[in-house]
Amino acid sequence: MVINGYGNDNMLQSPSLLRTDVATLVNLAKQDNYDGFNIDFESLNNPDEVGLDTFVADLAAGLHQEGKKLIVSVGPRTSDANNYHVYNYRSLGASADYIDLMLYDAHDNGGSAGPVAPLSWTANITRYAESTIPHQKILVGLAGYGYNWASTGSTEISDIAALALANRYGSTWVGGIVQEPTVSYQVNGVRHIVWFEDSASEAYKVRWVGQAGLGGVALWDLGGENPGVWPMLQQDL
């Protein structure tokens, strides 16, 4: 369940709407025999924190009564003081079965070109999560996509499309604190810069699961991911 900018505040700030939505989801899980839900609320405001905490706690309780599970996707945080206050790792981690750390978009198509999920950045987020959430509940979120930046406009690009560009124009592996591939090419006089996650860069994050006893991984999104991610997961998880 992904909600991005569709009146989240109305539901989270209305106790009656919140109760109705919780009951609807629990009934849906029972009716269609779902294993549970993955809740991904985005474009929230920090004042929505209490409502989100309440929604997740109530939904988790309702699902658990039916033997169902709840995963909550959260934005990246590295401390109690920084951005995404609305995602209270401690309270959400106490209620949900798993917390999916969305370890991507250090750079996106709304800003300057750069790595999507540099290793140092994702490591800082994971360390903070480990200090606030039970380790077995933490899922390492992997990006199955990248971005193509150009002066004429920047767009999201699937890993499959990025790999095709890498095969055509060549790629450069940026190591050190980044550990991610990039592609630079020119078409019709327009310079393009592509950053994306491949199975090699994702493997660095996957190793944390075993090293720190984390709960597993999550991948966004299915369909455009690098085909190499599946054998890598079988080997490294």
In a domain, 187, yes or no: no
Instruction: State whether the Cα torsion 126-132-135-141 is positive or negative.
Output: negative
In a domain, 163, yes or no: no
pLDDT tens digit string along 138-197? 999 999 999 999 999 999 999 999 999 999 999 999 999 999 999 999 999 999 999 999
In a domain, 232, yes or no: yes
pLDDT average, residue stretch 51-69? 98
Residue whose pair of structure tokens reads 């991005």 in the numeric block: 4
Which of these, 90, 88, 49, 92, lies nearest to 70 by C-alpha position?
Answer: 92
Instruction: State whether the Cα torsion 125-133-71-213 is positive or negative.
Output: positive
In a domain, 133, yes or no: yes
* Per-residue confidence (pLDDT) for residue 7, from 0 to 100: 53
Q: What's CA 201's distance to the chain center, in Å?
A: 15
Supply the CATH number for residue 87's domain: 3.20.20.80
Residue 116's identity, in one-letter code, is V
In a domain, 155, yes or no: no
In a domain, 189, yes or no: no
Domain range holding 78? 2-143+198-236
Where residue 46 falls among pLDDT bands split at 50, 70, 90?
Answer: confident
In a domain, 164, yes or no: no
If DSSP codes are grouped into helix, strand and coil, which group holds residue 115? coil
In a domain, 173, yes or no: no
Phi-psi region of 213 (alpha: psi -120 to 50; beta: other; left: phi over 0): left
The total number of structural domains that make up the chain? 1
